[in-house]
Structures are given as structure tokens and as C-alpha cells.
């Protein structure tokens, strides 16, 4: 490894109007940072990962060297450099260690979700008298994974039946496209050549194959999630005592953040799951009554996509409406669109506020950015996990006076939040 470059002091440089002192310019932090990074970026073309690691090491050295200087809003430069390093390493870890971090995050969120119910079961007289303290968690975990297994079996059988209907649906689609191509509206005709190529039998089979692969990977990761969840349950009882022994000053704040995060996630997930389940059941009944192929599969997708804020519920309407265009008359297609939209709006705009009392206090643009980031990093599962992770992040920022202004920037109504804190 090359030797550390010397760090020239800037204290001899005085503020001048013009001309600029060339010596001070050469000794500026930006030029010195470039000199520090130069030996470590030569290998970037040969080994990108090694080049990134070398750049992080150089940034750490620059941050420590600039620790006695002042930056924006009197924040030490070492702190800025450390924050940048932590963010870069975190993003790399989220992407490269997805197979490990994603099941761990899911297991942690599931634990925070089932913990209130487990504590309620622990207070029952029969549990206190006969059962082991961990028995309520075991019962809830068994029920949770039993429901997931039954739903996956029904989904797989419905998907298999839908696959068998694809050739007939393709023929009906060609008939509808031929009718649409000959239709004229205010002197304009429809060009369906691109749509015909996009919705060919091979393309649909490729989409279904990818969907089945996603289900298989989800089933495989469920085992890993279960293992993580069991160990988290076993460690949860002793963790507060260990935190208090290791960090007596910060133990109460960490426990308060964990408790608030659990309450926030529990409120959000229970409310969202209730709304998504009710909306999916009504949508499934509508699709079953109108004989839409794969109705249970589309109802299940409606349930899962409703966890993605703002856009998930709208995206879930596209496949059943498209299939309705294939198998139904234009009048019934219009009715299908109307009842599905009314079902979505009734649950989202009327029922959900009544259950939650107040919507999630986060800026919509912040939520969309977080969902987009987690979707880019972890796919659809990341988009589902984006909001619970945002809840934890916001509660953690609110717990520290130094980061509370950032939490206010993320809030939908910072004035209301300030009033609640007072």
C-alpha cells in the first residue's frame, strides 16, 4: 500500500479578494483529497471492489485530517466523511448481501409484528400457569407459516389452471385485437401490431415462468426467515439486560426506539394488512363472479401489491382489467373497471383512515423515493419492506435531538410533530 501523503496546513492562508494565492489553492482540502485518492484509484479499472475500498480508506484519512476544521453549519469534516463512508458501505452491503440481510430484515419485522399478540397471550391465566414463556411465540409463528403455506398451495394450483387456459386466451385476444384494429374513433384507427408482438404466447409464458421462479425463491427464503425469526425470539428476552450492562447510558433510549418502532410498525402493518385483505377478498369475489381466469392469483397479487404505497394498488388493477377485455364484452369491461376502482377507493379512502386514525406522518415524495430505492436494491420485496423500514428510520431520527430536524424534514406535517413532542 502506498505511503500516506502529507497533509499541508491551511492556517497560513489568509482571505484575499483577488488574485487568488496559488499556494493556498494547491494546499486546499479539495486538492489534497484528490492527492489522497489518486494512489488508490489507479486500480479501479482492474478491480472495482478493491478500488472502492481504497477510496473509502482515503476518505477516512482525509476526514480524520480535517477534524479540526469547520464546514457547513459547524459540522466537523470528520463526521461528514464518516457519514459518507457509512452510507457507501451500507448501500454496498444492502446490494451484495441481499441473500442474508433481506431475510434478517423480514424476520425482525415479523417479530415486531407478532410481539404484541404474544405479550397478550402471555398474560392469559392458562398460559401463565401451564405454558413455557416462549409458547405464545411458537403458536403465532406456527399459525403464520401455516397460513402462508396454504395460500401458496392455492396460488400454485390457480396458477397451473391459468397456464392451461393461455392458448384459448391467446385466440380470444387475437379476435379482440382484430376487432380493435378495424375500429375507428373520430376518424382515427388503432395500430395493434406492436401490442400483438408484446402479448404473444411466448411472451406470456416467459412472464409466468418468471413469476413461478419468484414464488419458488420466496418459498426457499421463507425457511431462512423462519430460522432467523426463531433465533430473534430466543435472543429478545436477554437483549435488554445485555444492552443495559454494555451501554448503561444509552440503554433506555435504544429500548424506547425499539418499543416505538414496534408500535409504529404494528399499527401500520395491521392496518395495511386489514385493508389489503378486505380489498383482495372483494376483488376476488368480483373476479370470480365475472369468471376472470386466475381470479385467486389476481386477488393474491392485489393483497401483496397494496403494501406498496400510492402505486401498488393501481398496478394490481391492470392484469384483471386486461383479462376482462379479452373474455368480456365492452359493457362488462366498463362495469369491471368501475367496481374495482370503487372497491379500491372505498378501502383506501374510507376504511383505512378509520382504522389507523391518522395516516403515516411522512412526506409522500420521501416515501416514493424510499420505495424506489428499496425496489431497485431488492425488487418487489424491497418495495413492500420500504415503508416499515422508513418508519424505523424516522423513529430513530426523532429519538436523538441532533437528528430530530431531519425527522421533521421527512414528516408530512412538521408543525404537528413539534407540538406532539412539546
Judgement on whether residues 35 and 56 belong to the same structural domain of the protein = yes
In the prediction, which pLDDT does 289 show? 92
In the prediction, which pLDDT does 2 show? 46
Distances, alpha carbon 246 to alpha carbons 141, 225, 243, 250, 349, in Å: 31, 28, 5, 9, 47
Segment 285-306 mean pLDDT? 89
**76 assigned to some structural domain:** yes
Rounded Cα distance between 242 and 92, Å, is 30
Task: Say if residues 320 and 169 touch (Cβ distance below 8 Å).
Answer: no
Q: What per-residue string of b and e applies to 335-368 under the rule 16 or more CB within 10 Å gives b? A: ebeeebeebbeebbeeebeeebeeebbbeeebbe
**Domain end marker among 69, 96, 123:** 96
Q: Which three cell numbers stand for residue 9?
A: 496546513
Rounded Cα distance between 366 and 375, Å, is 14
DSSP annotation of 73 reads G
Judgement on whether residues 75 and 156 belong to the same structural domain of the protein = no
Segment 231-259 mean pLDDT? 76
Judgement on whether residues 118 and 32 belong to the same structural domain of the protein = no
In the prediction, which pLDDT does 75 show? 53
Identify the sign of the CA torsion 387, 392, 393, 398.
positive
Higher pLDDT, 313 or 38: 313
The rounded mean pLDDT for the chain is: 73
Q: Which three cell numbers stand for residue 411?
A: 414528516
Q: Which three cell numbers stand for residue 116?
A: 404484541
**359 assigned to some structural domain:** no
Q: Is the pLDDT of residue 406 over 90?
A: no
Q: Is the pLDDT of residue 85 over 90?
A: no
Judgement on whether residues 55 and 163 belong to the same structural domain of the protein = no
Q: For the chain, what is the domain count? A: 2
The fraction of the chain above a pLDDT of 90, given in percent, is: 6
265: left (phi over 0), alpha (psi -120 to 50) or beta: alpha
Could you tell me which residues are beta bridge partners of residue 7?
none
Q: Which three cell numbers stand for residue 307?
A: 403494501
- Rounded to whole angstroms, the maximal C-alpha distance in the chain is 85
Judgement on whether residues 203 and 179 belong to the same structural domain of the protein = yes
C-alpha torsion angle, residues 42, 44, 47, 49 (rounded to 10) = 120
Judgement on whether residues 55 and 141 belong to the same structural domain of the protein = no
Domain that holds residue 39: 22-96
**422 assigned to some structural domain:** no
Judgement on whether residues 114 and 205 belong to the same structural domain of the protein = yes
**37 assigned to some structural domain:** yes
**263 assigned to some structural domain:** no
- The listed range with the strongest mean pLDDT (68-77, 217-226, 343-352) is 343-352
Q: Is the pLDDT of residue 343 over 60?
A: yes
- Residue 112's contacts (CB-CB under 8 Å, 6 or more residues apart) are 261, 262, 265, 266
Q: Is the pLDDT of residue 3 over 70?
A: no
Judgement on whether residues 135 and 194 belong to the same structural domain of the protein = yes
Place 283 in a pLDDT band, splitting at 50, 70 and 90: very high
**168 assigned to some structural domain:** yes
Judgement on whether residues 89 and 105 belong to the same structural domain of the protein = no
pLDDT, tens digit (0-9, with 9 covering 90-100), for 58-68 = 444 444 444 44
Higher pLDDT, 76 or 253: 253
Judgement on whether residues 43 and 140 belong to the same structural domain of the protein = no
Judgement on whether residues 86 and 103 belong to the same structural domain of the protein = no
Angle in degrees, 0-180, between the axes of helices 330-345 and 318-327, rounded to the nearest 10: 160
Amino acid at each position: 500500500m502506498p505511503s500516506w501523503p502529507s497533509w499541508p496546513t491551511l492556517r497560513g492562508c489568509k482571505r484575499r479578494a483577488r488574485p487568488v494565492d496559488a499556494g493556498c489553492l494547491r494546499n486546499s482540502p479539495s486538492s489534497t483529497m484528490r492527492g489522497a485518492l489518486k494512489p488508490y484509484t489507479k486500480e479501479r479499472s482492474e478491480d472495482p471492489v478493491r478500488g472502492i475500498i481504497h477510496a473509502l480508506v482515503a476518505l477516512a484519512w482525509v476526514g480524520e485530517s480535517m477534524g479540526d476544521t469547520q464546514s457547513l453549519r459547524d459540522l466537523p469534516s470528520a463526521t461528514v466523511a464518516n457519514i459518507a463512508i457509512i452510507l457507501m458501505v451500507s448501500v454496498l452491503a444492502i446490494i451484495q448481501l441481499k441473500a442474508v440481510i433481506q431475510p434478517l430484515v423480514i424476520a425482525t419485522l415479523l417479530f415486531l409484528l407478532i410481539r404484541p399478540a404474544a405479550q397478550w397471550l402471555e398474560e392469559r391465566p392458562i398460559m401463565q400457569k401451564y405454558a413455557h414463556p416462549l409458547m405464545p411465540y411458537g403458536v403465532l409463528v406456527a399459525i403464520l407459516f401455516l397460513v402462508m403455506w396454504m395460500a401458496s398451495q392455492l396460488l400454485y394450483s390457480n396458477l397451473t389452471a391459468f397456464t392451461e387456459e393461455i392458448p384459448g386466451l391467446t385466440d380470444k385476444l387475437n379476435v379482440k385485437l382484430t376487432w380493435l384494429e378495424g375500429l375507428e374513433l373520430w376518424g382515427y384507427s388503432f395500430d395493434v401490431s406492436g401490442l400483438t408482438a408484446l402479448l404473444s404466447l411466448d411472451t406470456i409464458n416467459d412472464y409466468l415462468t418468471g413469476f413461478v421462479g419468484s414464488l419458488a425463491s420466496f418459498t426457499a427464503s421463507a425457511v431462512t426467515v423462519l430460522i432467523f425469526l426463531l433465533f430473534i425470539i430466543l435472543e429478545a428476552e436477554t437483549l435488554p439486560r445485555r444492552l443495559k450492562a454494555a451501554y448503561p447510558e444509552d440503554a433506555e433510549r435504544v429500548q424506547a426506539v425499539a418499543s416505538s418502532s414496534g408500535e409504529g410498525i404494528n399499527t401500520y402493518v395491521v392496518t395495511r394488512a386489514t385493508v389489503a385483505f378486505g380489498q383482495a377478498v372483494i376483488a376476488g369475489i368480483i373476479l370470480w363472479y365475472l369468471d376472470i381466469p386466475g381470479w385467486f392469483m389476481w386477488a393474491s397479487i392485489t393483497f401483496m401489491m397494496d403494501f406498496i404505497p400510492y402505486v401498488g394498488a393501481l398496478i394490481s388493477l391492470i392484469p384483471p382489467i386486461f383479462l376482462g377485455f379479452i373474455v368480456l364484452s365492452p359493457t362488462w369491461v366498463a362495469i369491471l373497471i368501475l367496481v374495482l376502482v370503487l372497491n379500491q377507493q372505498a378501502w383506501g379512502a374510507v376504511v383505512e383512515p378509520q382504522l389507523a386514525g391518522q395516516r403515516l406522518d411522512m412526506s409522500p415524495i420521501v416515501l416514493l423515493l424510499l420505495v424506489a430505492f428499496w425496489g431497485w436494491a431488492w425488487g418487489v420485496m424491497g418495495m413492500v419492506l420500504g415503508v416499515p423500514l422508513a418508519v424505523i428510520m424516522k423513529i430513530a431520527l426523532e429519538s436523538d435531538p441532533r437528528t430530530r430536524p431531519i425527522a421533521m424534514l421527512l414528516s408530512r406535517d412538521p408543525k404537528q410533530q413539534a407540538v406532539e413532542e412539546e
